[in-house]
Structure 1
Amino acid sequence: MKILFVVSEVEDLVKTGGLADVAKSLPLALRDLGHEVIIVMPYYQALAKQFSAGECAPRQTLFSEQTAYEFAIREIHLENLRVLCVDYPDFFARKGLYSDDYHAYADNAERFAFFAHAALKSAQAINFQPDIVHCNDWHTALTPYFLHIDDSGFFSDTRSIFTIHNGAYQGTHRFDDIPYLRPHYQLSEQLDGDALNFVRMGIRYANKINTVSPNYAQELLTPLGSHQLFYEFTQRRSDVSGILNGCDYSQWDPVNDPHIIKTYDAKNFKGKAACKADLQRELGLPVSSAVPVIGMVCRLTEQKGFGFILPMLDNLLQHNVQLAIVGTGDPDICRYLHDMAQRFPQKLAFHQDFSVRKAHMIEAGSDFFLMPSLFEPCGLNQMYSLAFGTLPIVRAVGGLKDTVIDVAEHPQSATGFVFSEPNQHALLACIERALLFYYEYPAEFILTQKRAMQTRFTWQSAAKAYENLYRQALN
């Protein structure tokens, strides 16, 4: 199949989050299955600084009312994968992808409405006639609509897939603030008051809708988990599915990790003990092999469960435990964690920053990884933790439920600890259960660690599932 992969960021090119990881790994895995994949993305200032990308087609023009949008199409390569870049400096020659250092760009809706259309025009300009246009998140959610109204005939056999990586981010903007869309009366008749919801349009116009784990797909079909889009999802229920993201084990592998003090594998845990001592020294915690370390690396937001982490923190730190938290985010959460770290300097280390090195040190040096998210479409850190033999403590939501097996529920296949209710009492009880398992059943704890390290969620499996989804869309 010929696949046009439309996305706003790609790892190794420009990245702000997990979307970029998917946008590199999935196209490469699809290519390895024999498909012809071309990525199309904006030509950001950060890309222009890294690459000298030549124009690969004649300049193109899109029109909206009396305005002409002339843009160039530049081409770069990522591991022999073609990447087309839409070069329209007024929109993309800026410091950040979606914002500067402090504020979101006020014209993001205009920028990505244009990009959603320009992506198709770029494929047409190089005579790439895709079987599938695969769109990702709200930035590209209007591409299925532009495909729907295209009357050139070029895309008459093309079908669209819209992947929702996080349903909480929907691209809701006042229609009057999107000049590019003013001629599009079909869209102006589908507003929420005076606002256009990009994700809602993606759901309505794409041939198939999917998200990044089977359980999150089921949650989107419920009133509580649908992010206020319950009607849209249920109207398309037969076209909604979930495919679990893969994990890049070339980067997250304790056998070959340049960021940790000593490598290790499931047969020899001495390296993990060395990593634990190194993490304790790095974060200023007492070095002790006997005390369990619970690690956490994330954005400090309500989504990550801090609404019930903070209220139980005092009770947790009465136990013989160490907690290592690395991340940035909500200033109120940061202040609270700083205060608690001063109260419990022997038990809580909080570093208000982020680095790849510290993320790897936490994964390798911790005994448990805390991830009690309010919602989590897929999640990657629990996969990294499993690979490092660091048992996840998670809430049974989204991809966390799909990837972690609870010790109490299935002891013979368990890989971590799972709780359900989104409150401080359920979380504390789950952590206490994990600590009891660590102290009272050390042999079983090690067996569970080894089982976790043998668990794999590969992009090869994900790509085969997407291949099947594409075929369904084409039939």
Structure 2
Amino acid sequence: MRVMFAASEAMPLVKTGGLADVVGALPKALAKRGVDVTVVLPKYGEITKEIADAVVTLTVMEVQLGWRRQYCGVQEVTVDGIRFLLIDNEFYFKRGYLYGYGDEAERFAFFSFAVLEMLDKLEVLPDILHCHDWQTGLIPFLLKTRYANRPGYRDIRTVFTIHNLQYQGVYSRELLQDLLATGDNSFTEDSLEFYGAGSCMKAGLRFADKLSTVSFTYAQEIQTEEYGEKLDGVIRQRSHDLWGIVNGIDTEVYDPMTDPHLAFPYRNSASKKRQNKTALQQELGLPVDENVPMIGIVSRLTGQKGFDLIGAALPALMKEKVQLVILGSGETGIEAMLRAALPGNRSKMAVWFGFNEGLARRIYASSDMYLMPSRFEPCGLSQLIALRYRTVPIVRETGGLVDTVEPYNEYTGTGTGFTFGPATVHDLLYTVRRALSFYDTEDHWTRIVTNGAKKDYGWESSARLYCKLYRELVS
């Protein structure tokens, strides 16, 4: 079976978030199960020089984008045993950042056309085109409408994976009609139309052969008005085609025994984990005390991640015997809130604004607990990484957090973390304090950490489900 992933980012080439981790790790797990996997990405200027220097140009072509004919190079490189194809156009992709430009619709419409035009240049067409998030949502639409009559294209099946329904690629009808050179018939309720505009996310939801999202619970949530981001009706109509498959993590990349960013590699050693904590305390200027419980957060600083709850809880939380370490960047209001909280809490709180992969790993490894009070969470990878690093998650009961963190039951000794339901400051503080109380009871804490260590958070079981999905499509 030949599967081609189309995505806007993938590790280890380029990353802004969890999408890159998934698109980087899942193909390796699929390859171990005998699937022939290729990943196609834009060739960003941010791709490392080592990888960019290794690429080989396969072909050069022109892509029709509305009334424009644009240059497109197709380049190839193999990384960690996976074949990557890079769509090269420096005007669209050689910029300072991956996203955030005024011509996002044009950039990813170009990418979508380029992926489909490129298929003609390959020796063998894929059986499955697996598209990820709104940046590739136009591909299933174009395949079913513009490219349906090309030889071999009709046999290609598509999967569209929703990583975060909140980001939808919504643009004016006029702009998308210009870019796609399409008429009013493409902007109806059962096509791209979305409240007077057009939605790339809806294109994927309507035209892909199968849909998936990144946890079972999120697949149920997005069919409701509360979580459906005005697309719940579309998703309910396609519920029979929707699979909820929880993400995994690359357990070779995220391994505290081999992680080069850690001062003290470890597996199940509590003493080595405490040594990492004291090293991080020194690094961040916190009082050095291995017995103080440390709570870590590595996150985008957005409302989705529950930072309004964290901000409201901070005054009470800072009265506890605890240290809070946060790494992230995002909304200016949240950054301002954290900056304002720092001066009076230097002995209990440290914040690094921006992103630093090495520091992120050290926070996972050094923290005793990991806090994720998300308003919604399609899957979440941070709680899986935390568990891999023997750090106990404290999460809100939503999306993939429900599917991956089992609440601790002190009577049965089962559970891997602590959870709360209502998105309130009271429930967050109650749950954090409950976790702190068990931290002070060594037998309970050892049991919780041991329970988490026994879980498998790799990609094997998820890859098996994706293979089942692919087989249904091609049979």
With normalisation by structure 2, the TM-score equals 0.94
Are the aligned partners of 2:275 and 2:290 in contact in 1 as well (CA < 8 Å)? no
Residues 137 and 160 of structure 2 are in contact (CA less than 8 Å); yes or no, is this contact kept in structure 1? yes
1:164 corresponds to: 162
Secondary structure class of the residue paired with 1:129: coil
Q: Distance in 1 between matches of 2:121 and 2:354?
A: 44
| 1:254-275 Cα distance to aligned partner (Å, 9 max, x none) | 2222222212222x32101111
Match of residue 101 from structure 1: none
**In structure 2, what is the Cα distance between the partners aligned to 1:186 and 1:77?**
41
**Given residue 169 of structure 1, which amino acid in structure 2 is its aligned partner?**
Y
Whether 1:111 aligns to 2:112 is no
Residue of structure 1 equivalent to 2:315: 314
Contact conserved, 2:78 with 2:84, CA < 8 A, in 1? yes
Tell me the amino acid that sits aligned with residue 133 of structure 1.
Answer: L
Name the residue aligned to 2:78: 77
Q: Residue 221 of structure 1: SS of its match in structure 2? A: coil
- 1:71 and 1:183 map into 2 onto residues whose CA distance is 22
Equivalent residue runs for 1:103-182 within 5 Å = 104-149=100-145, 150=147, 151-178=149-176, 179-182=178-181
Deviations 1:178-213 (A, max 9, x none): 332133544233423442111111100001110111
Alignment of 1:243-254 (within 5 A): 243-254=245-256
- SS of aligned partner of 1:291: coil
Call closer, same or farther: CA 1:34–1:186 in 2, change over 3 Å.
Answer: farther
Match of 1:374 in 2: 375
Decide which moves more: 24-33 or 157-166: 24-33
Cα offset for 1:65? Answer: 5.2
**Partner secondary structure for residue 180 of structure 1:** helix
| Structure 2 partner of 1:9 | 9
- Partner of 1:125, secondary structure, is coil
2:306 is aligned to 305
The question of whether the paired residues in 2 share the 8 Å contact of 1:387 and 1:454 is answered with: no
- Give the secondary structure class of the aligned counterpart of 1:209: strand
In 2, Cα distance between equivalents of 1:81 and 1:344:
47
Task: Kindly provide the CA deviation profile for residues 373-431 of structure 1, in whole angstroms up to 9, marking residues without a partner as x.
Answer: 11111111111111121100000111111111111388433110000111111111111
Counterpart in 2 of 1:281? 282
CA RMSD in angstroms comes to 1.9
Alignment of 1:313-352 (within 5 A): 313-352=314-353
Q: Indicate how the Cα distance of structure 1 residues 76 and 237 shifts in structure 2: closer, same or farther if over 3 A, else same.
A: same
**Aligned positions of 1:60-459 closer than 5 A:** 60-64=61-65, 66-98=67-99, 104-149=100-145, 150=147, 151-178=149-176, 179-189=178-188, 190-266=192-268, 268-408=269-409, 411-439=412-440, 441-459=441-459
Would you say the 8 A contact 1:70–1:88 is kept in 2?
yes
2:170 maps to amino acid: T
2:40 alignment partner, SS class: strand
Q: Percent identity?
A: 38
Deviation of residue 97 (structure 1)?
2.0
Deviation, structure 1 residue 68 = 2.5
C-alpha separation in 1, matches of 2:346 and 2:179: 55
1:87 Cα offset (Å): 2.1
Verify the 8 A CA contact 1:84 1:122 in the aligned structure 2. no
CA distance in 1, matches of 2:28, 2:185: 36
Partner of 1:56, secondary structure, is strand
Matched-pair contact (CA < 8 Å) for 1:264–1:270: no
1:240-265 deviations in Å (ceiling 9; x for gaps):
11111111122222222222221222
Secondary structure in 2 aligned to 1:153?
coil
Q: Could you give the per-residue CA deviations for residues 99-121 of structure 1, whole angstroms, max 9, x where no partner exists?
A: xxxxx211111121121122122
Task: List runs of 5+ in structure 1 lacking aligned partners.
Answer: 99-103
Kept in 2: contact 1:415–1:448 (CA 8 A)? yes
Q: Which residue of 1 aligns with 2:37?
A: 37
Task: Work out the CA distance in 2 between the residues paired with 1:68 and 1:336.
Answer: 47
**Counterparts of 1:337 and 1:448, CA distance in 2:** 30
Q: Note the C-alpha offset of 1:466.
A: 0.5
Q: Structure 2: which 5+ residue stretches go unaligned?
A: none
Contact kept? 2:58, 2:75, Cα under 8 Å: yes
For residues 18 and 64 of structure 2, the distance between their equivalents in structure 1, rounded to whole angstroms, comes to: 33
**Per-residue deviation at 1:32?**
1.7
Task: Give the letter for the 2:339 counterpart.
Answer: H
Q: Distance in 1 between matches of 2:88 and 2:254?
A: 34
Q: Secondary structure at the match of 1:55?
A: strand
Instruction: Give 1:10 shift.
Output: 1.6
The structural deviation recorded for 1:344 is 2.1
For residue 31 of structure 1, report the CA deviation from its aligned partner: 1.6
Deviation at 1:289? 2.6
**Offset, 1:61:** 3.3
Deviations 1:275-318 (A, max 9, x none): 12112222222222332111111111111111111111111112
Amino acid at match of 2:232: F
Contact 1:328 1:354 in 2 (8 A): yes
SS at match of 2:107: helix
Deviations along 1:211-248, one digit per CA (max 9) or x if unpaired, are 11111111111111112111110010111111111111
Q: Distance in 2 between matches of 1:85 and 1:265?
A: 37
> Bigger shift: 188-197 or 23-32?
188-197
Asked whether the 8 Å contact 2:328–2:355 carries over to 1, the reply is yes
Q: CA deviation at 1:15?
A: 1.7
Residue correspondences, number: 467
1:340 & 1:46 partners in 2: Cα distance? 34
**Aligned 8 A contact 1:303 1:375 in 2:** yes
Query: 1:444-466 CA deviation, whole Å, 9 max, x = no partner?
Result: 11121122122221112221111
